[in-house]
Structure 1
């Protein structure tokens, strides 16, 4: 790792790049929705895709560790001084065509992209309203909610290949998109600089696939559509009720959103979980256990609800209670929240406790969704 004493020399070279500003005071607590994390060696704010590319290639050439930061909504960062440079992506242009083609710079606020599409009467991403973070992060983990995923509409991404320095548009089909996964996730091989989506004109939503949302909108048959603006408002209402719309004054939203992914398990394990719930809580609760087809051709496997398992393992909303620096949200057991005075190790301890508790109760190991920097759950 590069000696931090060389930072002034690095800063001088970074200042020569157009559309770049430097900040040596900001911490990851300032850059993340969890409001946790220590101080990088330097923070570099990049206003254009070319600035991002030049900064990344320079730092890579100098063997300086770096972390790309968009909205900071999916990061768990260690406390203390970190020997890395935070590269903050702040290119924000969004263009919407009359034929449903939407192009967004990686640094654009994702919900601004959704709002622009809804205001243009375009359907396809209204179910992804209210998700925090930046547009460039959406394909990396194939962001999804309420029955929709970015893979449903993603056409291509403008990608910086770090090995070669090449910037090129890469088709979505080349990203191996799956549930909360792409071949960009955890690999660091490429940086998303912009995304292109194909939405559909006409003012109607994508088919409503999520039961709770469909019922809220009065849809009674699978696949019904509704006006995009109505769907957006319904999604935002549902997310607010779960503390999933960022609000600086509400500590229930000081989180990384859904902290654990919904586990995909063999049908035999799902049956065993259901039997255990039946023994613990009775037939009525066991018969209500959420279990869905895993999709993607995963035969013999089903998707379970992480939030449901956490609750049935004995972790209530707000656990472990008043006074704890990190608690499960008082609105939704799937979010781990900073109550205002936490440090990262507090979060790690609760994440580990919940993961281990679910595993001990049901034999299912929950996997965290955020990216961990300088710290690990194990």
Structure 2
């Protein structure tokens, strides 16, 4: 199936997509792609009847596939994956080997080894691979990146990036290391690390110093308990450093505290959320004691990463070499967690059998609602 990419063609066919995992994020990305008109929503798959019902209400012409295997057996061009993190790498590889393009929620893998395996599969299949690193697509971060590359603040030598979420995830699997791969670093810190590296064109992270906490108590970086607070310093081979801080359920005094400040030898560029919002951001350029606002809300950015992938797919693009950068970000997270590239999730990590059992329990819980 799909030995050649057949769109766009003389008949104006759009890529046909299946959606695996239809919780809030999965359904939101589906609706964003639908609204763009760039692709057709042809199939849906989720173990939860409630999630399926909500997705069918939005996409009534789509086929409901009982299992992922059934989904892969349909005549599709790509699949959008929004399942628990431990499933991402295996499901992405399975889809790629069937000739389908993949857009996956972060993290693409539980570590750099898994992430690299997915990228290799995409390259071998010559299929488009995207990851929902959505904050890259905010107007504020796009402006900061463009200004930085234009030399507006000179050479960047340091960055401070923060993501404190006063609530934390509402799904139990986030707190099971076998399913999530980690705590707030994997959930929120991945965005911060990615923004730092993406903005600076992916310098190599040579060293990381990190402290992880759970319930206010210090964790061993290789613990199986997921962290709810983390602070880390990343050092790159260019000499630039980044200070990263992220948390769940911190006493932040607002819903969220999100920022990314890049310090150059001639100024600074700063992203900040507005009034504790998860969605509204400003961008500023700062010189000495002065500052200029460059971008203000509103900005409907949540589904842009999925839409950008769908646009590439609709133009017939195969493997995009920029997917290699996903491995750079995963390696940086490995360093924060104190694990070597090639290790599984935590220390020796879960066995395949234990991970399979955890996934089975997730599916049972989802069916029970």
Higher gyration radius (CA): 1
Which is richer in helix? 2
Which structure has the higher relative contact order (CA within 8 Å, separation 6+)?
2
TM-score by length of 1: 0.26
